Amino acid sequence: MEHAVFQKLRTAMAEDGFDALVAHSLDNVTYTAGFQVPSQAMNRFRRTITILADKTFARQIVVNVEEALAHEKSRFSNIRSYNQFTDHPSDLIADALTEAGVAAGRIAIELDYLPAMDFLRLQEKLPNATFVHARDLYFRTRMVKTDEEVELLREIGALTEQVMADVVDQLKVGMSEQTVGSAIMNRMLDVGADGVAYQVGSGARSGIINCKPTPKIIEADDVVRVEILGDMGGYRSNVTRTMVMGRPTDEQKQIWSVLIAARDACEAKLRPGQTVPDLWETYRSYCTGHGIQPSLTFLGHGIGRTIHEEPYLTETREIVLQPNVTHTMEPLYMVPGRMGFHVEDMYRITETGFEKITGLTFPNDSLIEVAA
């Protein structure tokens, strides 16, 4: 029996009337094959491609230096390699689609990622094929996770939240943002993460949405925002906490209480059948009704192979939540030049409601107070 991911993708292909599905991007190739080809992330001239066609055809195409690893790690048993100096990967795609009997078929392919020169060559090789954008098919399929994917997200989520707690426990006035960033990176790698990204902003810099750490020294009464984005087994985490170096002011407590109440109102609606635009409107209307204009035009985003994927929790996405959809919610309010407030946790939609993947062991329901 084929892997569950292959089965899901073939079902989506049939629903959309496609004869074949071709992936080129790092995230969709990795999602399909079940492992990341190292050079795909580092060398844009080395194409890595997955192909599902008809009811049974499945092949992965890799540069020849990655062939042995692909045979060891890939879900595909049918691996073909090419020499990047003498062969053109589009020719191998055309050969595969011809072998599968769909050379004149309707082909879903990543038109938002495929290099123009590769696409032109593929059109030349398969003049009777119809090429259609594959983005929506992949987003829709990846949005609903397998049980295996959910377990990976739980694992990296739990590690990330624990590291957040450890780092905040060591936070002190006089540390630099960069020192905090280094502690995050080292601790995440120590506990088994494959990679990590992070944001650290203090004082006025906490009011910058993407606050890369600087040499700035953390001072008494600073608001501090820390965001950790982990990577393990190809799946991601996204956890953010906001704290005050000392006692929060009445203004800070009021802002935070609005954000948390808006989040809680949205949590009460998390269940299968809930529409994304209604969720966003619940958040937006609560915030604006209590004197806060949300600083983002979305409440959260899907999380899985990438940090940002569907469903985006915003008014423009006509998406209905269903079991095993995984996403974040991240109430965020920036006061530019003064301070910023942001809490982010990971969620899974269950058969009857939701599961908090993060936010139970080190919650941020109140502003975290760090002794100055």
Could you give the domains of the chain? 4-143 (3.40.350.10), 147-370 (3.90.230.10)
pLDDT higher than 90, residue 1:
no
> What's the rounded mean pLDDT across residues 244-261?
98
pLDDT tens digit sequence for 58-83 = 999 999 999 999 999 999 999 999 99
DSSP per-residue letters across 207-263: GSSS----SPBP-TT-EEEEEEEEEETTEE--EEEEEEESPPPHHHHHHHHHHHHHH
Instruction: Give the confidence band of 140 by pLDDT, cuts at 50, 70, 90.
Output: very high
Distance CA(109)–CA(112), nearest Å, equals 9
pLDDT higher than 80, residue 372:
no
User: What is the pTM (predicted TM-score) of this model?
Assistant: 0.93
